[in-house]
């Protein structure tokens, strides 16, 4: 099935947190997705020096064009967290192989996800573009919606590594035919 039980735990945690994240994003930003895309495009074009009337027309066109793909957002969150879960599971397997306890490894991997892959890029983009960047995210989506799946991923990964449950049979089962 998988090479390591920690990769399996990462994939399971990614699936659970991706489903939660997709549902949260669909609930919170579903009706305001076009407004979010309009504001994001408009401010980005305005900061690049494009005249306000042109920026407004382009932003309206972009938000209308991307509005058709609104249904892909939840699916994208699931796929994204599945891949991240597999990669972070590999990192966790490496950390455990280097002698770190599984719980500490799970929390370290969760910290890498939350701080290194989410908060740091958001704040770097905020520094680059200006304060409007995070204000738009906070207005239309909310920082808690972006961080909730990562927190769920970390908690799920920690629980899977610390508790014995039915998932242990998945990792211990051997294939019937080689």
Residue range 11-28: average pLDDT?
Answer: 90
Which range (54-63, 79-88, 125-134) has the least confidence?
125-134
* Cα(110)–Cα(157) distance, integer angstroms: 8
* Cα(105)–Cα(112) distance, integer angstroms: 10
> What local confidence, expressed as pLDDT, does residue 28 receive?
80
Looking at the predicted structure, is the pLDDT value of residue 5 above 90?
no
Looking at the predicted structure, is the pLDDT value of residue 43 above 50?
yes
Q: Which residue has the higher pLDDT, 136 or 172?
A: 136
> What local confidence, expressed as pLDDT, does residue 80 receive?
93
> What local confidence, expressed as pLDDT, does residue 174 receive?
63
Q: Which of 151, 149, 136 is nearest to 29 (CA)?
A: 136
- Which residue intervals of 30-71 are DSSP H helices? 33-47, 52-66
Residue partners of 51: CB distance under 8 A and separation at least 6: none
Tokens 């910290």 map to which residue?
111
pLDDT digits (tens, 9 = 90+) for 117-158: 999 998 898 888 888 888 888 888 888 888 999 999 999 999
pLDDT digits (tens, 9 = 90+) for 21-36: 888 888 887 678 888 8
Give the Å distances, CA to CA, from 160 to 52, 77, 156, 165. 52, 21, 6, 8
Residue range 167-172: average pLDDT?
Answer: 58
Q: Which residue has the higher pLDDT, 19 or 133?
A: 19
> What local confidence, expressed as pLDDT, does residue 1 receive?
47
């Amino acid at each position: 099935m998988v090479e390591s039980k920690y990769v399996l735990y990462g994939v399971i945690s990614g699936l659970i947190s991706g489903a939660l994240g997709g549902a949260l994003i669909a609930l919170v930003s579903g009706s305001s997705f076009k407004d979010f895309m309009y504001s994001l495009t408009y401010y980005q074009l305005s900061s690049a020096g494009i005249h306000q009337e042109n920026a407004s027309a382009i932003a309206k066109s972009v938000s209308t064009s991307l509005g058709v793909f609104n249904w892909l957002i939840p699916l994208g969150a699931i796929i994204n967290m599945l891949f991240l879960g597999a990669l972070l599971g590999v990192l966790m397997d490496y950390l455990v192989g280097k002698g770190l306890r599984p719980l500490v490894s799970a929390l370290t991997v969760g910290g890498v996800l939350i701080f290194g892959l989410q908060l740091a890029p958001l704040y770097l983009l905020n520094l680059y573009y200006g304060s409007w960047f995070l204000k738009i995210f906070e207005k239309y989506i909310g920082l808690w919606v972006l961080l909730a799946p990562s927190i769920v991923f970390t908690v799920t990964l920690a629980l899977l590594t610390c508790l014995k449950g039915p998932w242990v049979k998945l990792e211990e089962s051997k294939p019937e035919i080689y």
